[in-house]
Amino acid sequence: MANKNSKGLGRGIDALFSNFEDIEKIDEKTEKVQEIPLDEIRPNPYQPRKTFDDSTLRELADSIMLNGVIQPVILRQSSVKGYEIIAGERRVRASRLAGKTTIPAIVREFDETAMIEVAILENLQREDLTPLEEAEGYQTLMNKLNLTQVDVAQRLGKSRPYIANHLRLLNLPQDVKLMLQDGLISMGQARTLLGLNDESLISELAKRAAEEGITVRHLELLVQQLNNPGDVAKKKTKKKKETKPVYIKESEERLMDKFGTSVQISSKGEKGKIEIEYLSPADLTRILDILEISLDD
């Protein structure tokens, strides 16, 4: 259900999101392209992207040195000082790399809500954000615009579990967040690490996963062993190598991706059983939430 607070968003996120392609169109009758000093321009404070690829920025800078900035950037007058970027941060950064002192720009009026919408939604639609940047974008949308996970999922055309699984990454220790941001561990590995009952072990196991190249499946087993050390001895006594059909293995993988936890499927003939592991009462609530099961009903 949509949050009642979301109705007061001016033009509405849907309208803005569907018209991102129009943001940089220039109305030649009413808008004037100005040369704005680069040292008066600041990034959009709600920009979710924290890192920009150096090689592609350098390529763009080389092009600007030869041909100039072909498409003006879009700015708004800052309430503090100078201007803030609405669209075109890569062009601003590349122009500085190219040694330019000014950049062609259109100055428009945008309120704070519109700045948030443009910065986050435009990047989530167009840019290849890291999982952590994506998660921070979703969290900012929820905090600043009073949206729920359901609201964000509906606006962006994604599933609620997709949004929820990204938001869980924000619970990682800071050093592990940096490893995820730098690509030293994957999102799957990061989500698996969040299943550790003892949070103090997350950083240590994350470093090991990065150094040894531990797969998500192997990491899940390590997390299970650390959470339930007594079960290891039992499993050693029963060690039968069970070969599962390919479709069962693929089904397990898909369910693990959906629920963000270990899933086991066992079958006898045409019948079978699906076991979904939860690691705490809060984790059980999260899984029930994904299944849209409410205990309050």
pLDDT score recorded for residue 24: 65
pLDDT tier, 11 (very low <50, low <70, confident <90, very high otherwise): very low
**Model confidence pTM above 0.85:** no
pLDDT value of position 146: 86
Most confident stretch, 52-61, 110-119, 284-293: 52-61
* Portion of the chain with pLDDT greater than 90, in percent: 29
Q: To the nearest whole number, what is the mean pLDDT of the chain?
A: 81
Q: How far apart are CA 122 and CA 47, in angstroms?
A: 10
Which of 55, 90, 117 represents a domain boundary (last residue)?
117
Q: Which band of pLDDT confidence, cut at 50, 70 and 90, is reported for residue 169? A: very high
CB burial of residue 158 (10 Å; 0-12, 13-18, 19+): middle
Please report whether residue 127 resides in a domain.
Answer: no
- Domain presence at residue 185: no
The 8-class DSSP code of residue 20 comes to G
State the greatest distance between any 2 C-alpha atoms of the chain, in Å, as a whole number: 81
Residues 204-220 have a mean pLDDT of 92
Which whole-number Å values give the CA distances from 5 to 9, 18, 97, 141, in the listed order? 9, 21, 42, 13
Please provide residue 224's backbone torsions phi and psi, each rounded to the nearest 5 degrees. -60, -40
Answer yes or no: is pLDDT of 1 > 80: no
Q: Does residue 11 lie within any of the structural domains?
A: yes
DSSP code for 200: G
Q: What is the CATH number of the domain that holds 88?
A: 3.90.1530.30
In a domain, 154, yes or no: no
Is residue 50 one of the residues assigned to a domain?
Answer: yes
23 and 122 in contact (C-beta within 8 Å)? yes
Residue 59: domain span: 4-117
The number of C-alpha atoms within 13 Å of 72 and in the hemisphere containing its C-beta is: 20
CB neighbours of 165 closer than 8 A, spacing ≥ 6? Answer: 187, 191, 260
283 assigned to some structural domain: yes
User: Which is more confident, 39 or 80?
Assistant: 39
Residue 153 domain flag: no
Residue 14 reports pLDDT greater than 50: no
Last residue of a domain, one of 96, 117, 138: 117
Q: Is 89 a catalytic residue?
A: yes
Catalytic residue among 28, 59, 89, 292: 89
Q: What confidence tens digit (pLDDT) does each residue in 61-78 have?
A: 999 999 999 999 989 998
Residue 227 in any domain: the answer is no
- Which ranges constitute the DSSP H helices of the chain? 13-18, 54-67, 89-97, 112-126, 131-145, 149-156, 160-168, 174-181, 187-193, 202-212, 216-227, 229-237, 246-259, 281-290
Domain count, the chain: 2
Write down which residue in 117, 132, 157 finishes a domain: 117
